[in-house]
Structure formats: structure tokens, C-alpha cells
Amino acid sequence: MTMDPLATITCIEDLRRLAQRRVPRMFYDYADSGSYTENTYHANEADFRAIKLRQRVAVNISNRSTGTHMLGQPVAMPVALAPVGLTGMQHADGEILAARAARDFGVPFTLSTMSICSIEDVAEGTGGHPFWFQLYVMRDREFAAALIERARAAGCSALVLTLDLQVMGQRHKDIKNGLSAPPKPTLRNLLNLATKPAWCKAMLATRRRSFGNILGHAKGVTDLSSLAAWTNQQFDPTLSWSDVEWIKNRWGGKLVLKGILDAEDAQLAVRSGADALVVSNHGGRQLDGAPSSISALPAIAEAVGPQIEVWMDGGIRSGQDVLKARALGARGTLIGRSFIYGLGAHGQAGVTRALQILQKELDISMAFCGHTQIDQVNRGILLPQSLRQLPG
């Protein structure tokens, strides 16, 4: 009898180590790095670890449920797969595989504008199951409008507008690696690819190796060289709240604003009429020195109250992190690296395994804190003295 290779994977760190071995260096580093000194990237995880849980005993903890709602949609736990660019370079057809895993598990999947598989690819690959689409506002507003219409045609049930990438943070590893999709055939890259035969074999078997939402859709972008020139100058530094209003009116459906780190901006998000906001520092990949997402969360949740759904992302590596975020005011969370590690390690089955790990950790930790329903969890499960150690 052969053992299931996933049976001995018990935590997200196991998946990370496997992904590091199996994914080409430039794409692993793209996912597992931050900007400049990576201070904020590391703080996202460290500040979660500083928060301590309050254990309770002799409480009836039978009939537990991690199920809740995000944007009115029932979810198996308060977790959605975050938009991650170049997901299809972690594993061939990565966005389709991750979307299928999310669909089958009962959590939302968010497709990035900068995905390898296109909106249409994912819609077809998931049998038309609704997913969310993340929008970057480009200088070419006609292209942005066309993306919105394509998302609508694909049956996307929410639009996630990222607000914190008007300019690109300096990501030293990406610069040193010469990040590109597909990878440039330099000697360094070819030597590294030679050590990743399974990745190479799967990638050769798919036609999806570049930015599927852009190539052949954006004006004048017909090949890889024109694509590179276009993406380098398309992120729009003029993005403002008036653009948010334009997008909301153009879309007409559920709108999520991602990249909020300040209570004043959270209040502006409420005024914009958005349905949810995501407390996020872009995984530590934009403003290095910004606060961790979990330390910024309580003030933002308090500032907006129940007027808008407050979610967070950044640093979630366990179900305990999801539980702590929920206790500090997040109705939902988004995971990026945690599912990306699973995808790089074992494809669709790896993403499923990541979700299983997070849900089990969430369920067991909730039980130890004396709760049976995730919707009843509040700050009372946390030790107050540990919260005083959080910055801010």
C-alpha cells in the first residue's frame, strides 16, 4: 500500500518547503518576498504570533461550525483565496487549478488582473462557477472598462479593486532574478529550470505561459516584447476616489476595496458605497515600514463599525491566524502565500490541502477557546496583555 504523499503534510510550512524545491527560483521568490528590507513582510507574521489565545475548559464544544458568509455568500470558513499575480507560473494552469480547489472546498477564489490564465480560461475551467475578479486600474481606461465587461460576461460575482499599487514597490529579489513570464532564457535561469523537471514538463504541456488577461486584449499588445513595454508604464498614479465611483457605477455589482491601512481611508471606503474593504499592505510588497495588517485591523474595524464588511490579508499561515483576525474585527480573511505554497507543492491537491489545514486549525483552536460557532467569536478569546504588544 502506497502512502498518500499529502498525508504527512500537516502545516503550511510543509507546503512552503515543498514549493521552494519544486518552483523555479524567480517565481518562488516572487511569491515569498517583500519590498526593500522586507520589514513589513516579516511583521505580518510576527505580529500574529505575538497575540495569545485564552484557553477555556469544561465547555460543551460539540456541533462546531466554521461556516459563515462573505458578501452574503455562504463560505466553509471566513477565508477567500486572494488575487496573486503570475499564479499560473507557480504551477501550469495554476489559476484554474486553484479556482477548482476553492470551488470544491466552498470558499471564494479571486483572479488577478496579472494572471496567466485569463478570465475566460478560469470561467471555462471551473464550469462557470462564480469567482471574484481583481482589477488594477490602468492608464488605459478603455482597457479597464473592457476588463470589467469581461468579468461580468464570465459571471464574476464580485469585483476586488486594488488601491495600493499606483506605483510599484521595489522588490529586490524580482529585480535580481529578472522576473518575467515566461522566464527569459538566461544561463542562470536555464540552470535553475534544469533542476525543476516536473514544473518544466507541466509548463510545456499548456499554452498558458503569459499574461492571459492582457496579451491580445490591450491596445497594441500582440507579443511578449510589446507586453513588457505596456505593463511597465500602465499602473496609474492618478488613481483617486473619483475613479472608485466610476468603477462602482460601471460594475454595478458587489465591490471590494483592497489595500486599506488607515482609518480615514476606511471611512472614505464606506462613503464610496463599497460592500467590503480589505485591510492589507499588499503582503509587505509595497510600502516597507507600513504597519502589519493585523496591527492595523482593530482601529479600522472600530472606525467603520458595521457600515461595511471589514476583511484583512497579510501573514496568515494558520487557522489560528484566521481566528485571531476574526476576534479583532475581520468578518473575513484572504490568503495568498498559504495557497500559493500548496499550488507550487502539489497543484490543485496542494491548494485543497492548504485549505484543509487552515480549517482544521481554525476549528480546533476555536474549540480550545470555548466556542463552537465562528460567528460568535469576539475579542474575548484573546489575552489582553498580548494585544498591548502590538504596534499602533
For the chain, the structural domain boundaries read 12-387
Residue 254, pLDDT > 90, answer: yes
The reply, when asked if residue 134 is annotated as ligand binding, is yes
- Please confirm, yes or no, whether 282 is among the known catalytic residues: yes
Residue 2, pLDDT > 70, answer: no
Average pLDDT over residues 82-106: 98
Candidates 129, 217, 282, 371; catalytic one: 282
Residue 253, pLDDT > 90, answer: yes
The reply, when asked if residue 280 is annotated as ligand binding, is yes
Count of alpha carbons within 13 angstroms of residue 178, beta-carbon side: 9
The reply, when asked if residue 316 is annotated as ligand binding, is yes
Looking at domain 12-387, its CATH superfamily turns out to be: Aldolase class I (3.20.20.70)
The reply, when asked if residue 49 is annotated as ligand binding, is no
Could you tell me how many residues make up the chain?
392
The reply, when asked if residue 267 is annotated as ligand binding, is no
Q: What are the grid coordinates assigned to 39, written together?
A: 520589514
Q: What is the mean pLDDT of the chain?
A: 95
What is the pLDDT confidence band of residue 224, given thresholds at 50, 70 and 90? low
Residue 223, pLDDT > 70, answer: no
Check residue 168 and give its pLDDT. Answer: 84
Check residue 295 and give its pLDDT. Answer: 98
Check residue 279 and give its pLDDT. Answer: 98
Check residue 229 and give its pLDDT. Answer: 72
Window from 19-33, 55-69, 177-191 with minimum mean pLDDT: 177-191
**Alpha carbon distances (Å) from 389 to 35, 296, 385:** 24, 13, 7
What is the rounded distance in angstroms from the CA atom of residue 182 to the CA atom of residue 177? 13
Whether residue 182 has a cis bond before it, omega within 30° of 0:
yes
Amino acid (one-letter) located at 145 = A
- Closest CA relative to residue 287, chosen from 186, 167, 378: 167
The reply, when asked if residue 171 is annotated as ligand binding, is yes
pTM: predicted TM-score of the whole model, two decimal places: 0.96
pLDDT tens profile 344-360? 999 999 999 999 999 99
What is the rounded distance in angstroms from the CA atom of residue 200 to the CA atom of residue 16? 19
Window from 27-36, 214-223, 322-331 with minimum mean pLDDT: 214-223
Alpha helices in 109-223 (DSSP H): 119-125, 141-153, 172-177, 187-193, 197-204
- Closest CA relative to residue 86, chosen from 38, 157, 32, 13: 32
**Alpha carbon distances (Å) from 58 to 64, 69, 143, 360, 383:** 15, 29, 58, 21, 19
**Alpha carbon distances (Å) from 372 to 41, 331, 367, 375:** 32, 16, 6, 9
Check residue 330 and give its pLDDT. Answer: 98
Of all residues in the chain, the percent with pLDDT exceeding 70 is 98
